Amino acid sequence: MADLDVGSGFGLGSDAARIGAAILFLQASTNAMDVFSAVNSSPWTAENFGGDTTKNASVREYVWHGVGLTVFYVVGASVLAQSPWPIIGGGITLAYMYWLYTRALKRGADRQSQDWTTATPATTTTTNGNGNVGQVWSP
Protein backbone atom coordinates (compact mmCIF):
# COMPACT_ATOMS: atom_id res chain seq x y z
CA MET A 1 0.00 0.00 0.00
CA ALA A 2 1.31 3.46 -0.92
CA ASP A 3 2.40 5.88 1.78
CA LEU A 4 -0.45 8.35 2.29
CA ASP A 5 1.51 10.60 4.65
CA VAL A 6 1.84 13.63 2.35
CA GLY A 7 3.74 15.84 4.80
CA SER A 8 6.66 13.46 5.23
CA GLY A 9 7.43 13.66 1.51
CA PHE A 10 8.16 17.37 1.88
CA GLY A 11 10.22 17.11 5.05
CA LEU A 12 7.37 18.47 7.18
CA GLY A 13 6.95 15.47 9.44
CA SER A 14 3.91 13.27 9.57
CA ASP A 15 0.46 14.57 8.75
CA ALA A 16 -0.67 13.71 12.28
CA ALA A 17 2.22 15.68 13.79
CA ARG A 18 1.43 18.73 11.65
CA ILE A 19 -2.27 18.55 12.52
CA GLY A 20 -1.37 18.26 16.19
CA ALA A 21 0.96 21.26 15.92
CA ALA A 22 -1.78 23.31 14.25
CA ILE A 23 -4.25 22.41 16.99
CA LEU A 24 -1.74 23.30 19.72
CA PHE A 25 -0.94 26.60 17.97
CA LEU A 26 -4.60 27.60 17.61
CA GLN A 27 -5.63 26.46 21.08
CA ALA A 28 -2.83 28.39 22.77
CA SER A 29 -3.78 31.49 20.79
CA THR A 30 -7.44 31.11 21.76
CA ASN A 31 -6.46 30.47 25.39
CA ALA A 32 -4.61 33.79 25.50
CA MET A 33 -7.73 35.62 24.30
CA ASP A 34 -9.89 33.69 26.76
CA VAL A 35 -7.62 34.65 29.66
CA PHE A 36 -7.68 38.33 28.75
CA SER A 37 -11.46 38.33 28.40
CA ALA A 38 -11.80 36.60 31.78
CA VAL A 39 -9.61 38.98 33.78
CA ASN A 40 -10.18 42.29 32.03
CA SER A 41 -12.74 44.42 30.27
CA SER A 42 -12.43 45.02 26.55
CA PRO A 43 -9.80 47.32 25.00
CA TRP A 44 -12.70 49.59 24.01
CA THR A 45 -13.67 49.95 27.67
CA ALA A 46 -10.04 50.56 28.62
CA GLU A 47 -9.90 53.32 26.03
CA ASN A 48 -13.02 54.97 27.44
CA PHE A 49 -11.60 55.06 30.97
CA GLY A 50 -7.89 55.46 30.13
CA GLY A 51 -7.80 59.12 31.19
CA ASP A 52 -8.67 58.22 34.79
CA THR A 53 -5.28 57.41 36.36
CA THR A 54 -6.75 55.07 38.97
CA LYS A 55 -8.73 53.08 36.40
CA ASN A 56 -5.77 53.11 34.01
CA ALA A 57 -3.57 51.57 36.71
CA SER A 58 -6.27 49.00 37.48
CA VAL A 59 -6.50 47.91 33.84
CA ARG A 60 -2.71 47.61 33.65
CA GLU A 61 -2.72 45.39 36.74
CA TYR A 62 -5.26 43.07 35.14
CA VAL A 63 -3.28 43.05 31.89
CA TRP A 64 -0.33 41.70 33.89
CA HIS A 65 -2.61 39.05 35.40
CA GLY A 66 -3.53 38.09 31.83
CA VAL A 67 0.15 37.92 30.87
CA GLY A 68 1.01 35.72 33.85
CA LEU A 69 -1.88 33.31 33.36
CA THR A 70 -1.24 33.01 29.63
CA VAL A 71 2.47 32.32 30.14
CA PHE A 72 1.65 29.68 32.77
CA TYR A 73 -0.78 27.83 30.51
CA VAL A 74 1.17 27.99 27.25
CA VAL A 75 4.42 26.91 28.91
CA GLY A 76 2.54 24.10 30.68
CA ALA A 77 0.97 22.99 27.40
CA SER A 78 4.36 23.06 25.68
CA VAL A 79 5.94 20.92 28.39
CA LEU A 80 3.08 18.41 28.34
CA ALA A 81 2.99 18.23 24.53
CA GLN A 82 6.78 18.40 24.20
CA SER A 83 6.19 20.96 21.47
CA PRO A 84 7.04 24.64 21.00
CA TRP A 85 3.75 25.37 19.19
CA PRO A 86 1.72 26.39 22.25
CA ILE A 87 4.41 28.94 23.16
CA ILE A 88 4.51 30.25 19.59
CA GLY A 89 0.73 30.53 19.22
CA GLY A 90 0.13 31.91 22.69
CA GLY A 91 3.11 34.23 22.44
CA ILE A 92 1.89 35.86 19.24
CA THR A 93 -1.56 36.49 20.68
CA LEU A 94 -0.15 37.57 24.04
CA ALA A 95 2.06 40.18 22.36
CA TYR A 96 -0.91 41.43 20.35
CA MET A 97 -3.21 41.64 23.40
CA TYR A 98 -0.56 43.51 25.41
CA TRP A 99 -0.05 45.97 22.54
CA LEU A 100 -3.82 46.38 22.05
CA TYR A 101 -4.52 47.22 25.71
CA THR A 102 -1.47 49.50 25.95
CA ARG A 103 -2.62 51.40 22.86
CA ALA A 104 -6.20 51.67 24.17
CA LEU A 105 -5.03 53.06 27.51
CA LYS A 106 -2.75 55.56 25.77
CA ARG A 107 -5.58 56.74 23.53
CA GLY A 108 -7.86 57.20 26.52
CA ALA A 109 -5.17 59.05 28.47
CA ASP A 110 -4.36 61.29 25.49
CA ARG A 111 -8.04 62.25 25.21
CA GLN A 112 -8.55 62.47 28.97
CA SER A 113 -11.41 60.00 28.53
CA GLN A 114 -12.72 59.08 31.99
CA ASP A 115 -16.21 57.75 31.45
CA TRP A 116 -18.83 56.70 28.92
CA THR A 117 -19.77 60.28 28.07
CA THR A 118 -16.33 61.32 26.84
CA ALA A 119 -16.22 60.86 23.09
CA THR A 120 -13.51 58.48 21.96
CA PRO A 121 -12.30 59.33 19.43
CA ALA A 122 -13.03 63.01 19.81
CA THR A 123 -15.94 64.22 17.68
CA THR A 124 -17.12 67.51 16.30
CA THR A 125 -20.79 68.20 15.57
CA THR A 126 -21.41 69.55 12.07
CA THR A 127 -24.26 70.19 9.69
CA ASN A 128 -24.28 69.26 6.02
CA GLY A 129 -26.09 72.35 4.77
CA ASN A 130 -29.48 70.61 4.67
CA GLY A 131 -30.00 70.99 8.38
CA ASN A 132 -28.86 67.43 9.12
CA VAL A 133 -26.60 67.19 12.13
CA GLY A 134 -23.75 64.67 12.12
CA GLN A 135 -20.47 63.94 13.78
CA VAL A 136 -17.02 64.08 12.25
CA TRP A 137 -14.43 61.85 13.87
CA SER A 138 -11.19 63.58 14.73
CA PRO A 139 -7.87 61.72 14.80
In the chain, where the domains are located: 14-116
* pLDDT higher than 50, residue 36: yes
Instruction: Check: CB of residue 105 under 8 Å from CB of residue 50.
Output: yes
pTM of the predicted structure, to 2 decimals: 0.72
- Summarised one tens digit per residue, pLDDT across range 68-90 is 999 999 999 999 988 999 999 99
Per residue in 39-78, pLDDT (tens digit) is 999 999 999 999 999 999 999 999 999 999 999 999 999 9
Strand segments (E) across the chain: 123-127, 133-137
